[in-house]
Structure 1
Amino acid sequence: MRIALFCCIILVVSALGVVSAEAETRYVSDQIAVTLRRGPGTEYKILKSLPTGAALEFLEEEEKYLKVRTKDGAEGYVLKQYISAQLPKVYVIARLQKQLDQSKARMATMAKEAEGWNNEKSELQRQLAEVQEALKLEKGQHGRLVKQHQTLREGAKNVTDLLNERDQLKAENEKYAADLAQLRQDNDAILRKAIVKWFLAGAGVLFVGWLMGKRSRTRKRAF
């Protein structure tokens, strides 16, 4: 009897999975609050609710549940189907949106700077033309005018570099916008699947309740 019990314990431990050697972070990935329970089943006490994106330290894996530890040190079990090793798309979207907003703000700043540089470039070009004319008229001051001419050319080159950087930033901004649109579509698809899943689950519960009620009435009539 003891040998049989020992064998059963070994089989159960093997089925429950192996404890991870290193701590692994996973995230609540659904659009609902997931319950953290004391044990791997709905009959166990609920310790707390975990919002979407909550970071959890992965401890053990069972058939339908994962044993995890929250940031505040609470340990318990959550349904495996609502946990992902990747950061939820809503948070990726928020991060991209923040990057996009920062990029737009930087573009606005760059546009103002570029406008100022354009004005300065026009002024530099005007001064350059004056210097070139002065070079023809004042050969005796050739050395000083050549140095000024070089300085003005370097200033004009800085303006060109700034305009090129602005164009590159605009291209990156368009790419961020396209990625954000795609992620929003993916997030909408996930949300629709979650709604259908919970609707079907609710319909199943109502159907089972109806069958149990019908069976109960049939037994009462039989007595």
Structure 2
Amino acid sequence: MRYKYGLFIKIIGMLLILSVFSPVLYAKTQYVTDVLYITLRTGPGDSFKVLKALKTGTKLEFIEDNGEGYSLVRTESGDEGWVRNKYLVDEPVARLKLAAMQAKLDALKKENQELKQKNANSRKKTKELEKDRKRLESSNIKLENQNKKLKSIAARPMELAKENEQLKALNEANESQIASLTEENTKYKDNTVRDWFLAGGGVLLFGIILGLILPSLRWRKNRGWA
């Protein structure tokens, strides 16, 4: 029984604490309604001192409602005071909403213009890059052609050296063939001279023999006739 009574007392105490601090824990935002100015007073009534004037759209933090048409509020600068409930609304007034929407629209227009400008710059940059790409391609083709020419020129000495080696080998073969032919001609000339010398000697010898024989033959013939 004592336990239940103690638990009941604790619950009551917690409820009392929550009731005291609930305006702070559940603070909400409210706005001054669509009038020119209202007064923020030190107490809930027109007889209390005016702390300051609040213009339409002023953002306020709701603290508590006294149940008699006044609410305790706090400004963004930290001033606390009482205002009439009929001047408070949960949402900004239409004029403020319109102004906010207009500001947002202007921001979107500005962002749109910036995006258009960026898009135009991107297109211009793309065209410039395309021109640079074409120039590089043309330059690359020229460099490739020059490279081919240089390779051809560089390969020419090797071809000439190879051709010279072939001509040198051919020349050596020709020289060897010429030497061989020269040697054969020399041998042929020597053989011809020798053959002519032998032939001439034979003719001379035959002439001598004939010269010796003919007189003898004539003498015998003359004698026979006698």
Pick 1 or 2: higher relative contact order, CA cutoff 8 A, min separation 6.
Answer: 1
TM-score by length of 1: 0.42
Question: Which has the higher Rg, Structure 1 or Structure 2?
Answer: 2
**What TM-score does the superposition give when structure 2 sets the normalisation length?**
0.42
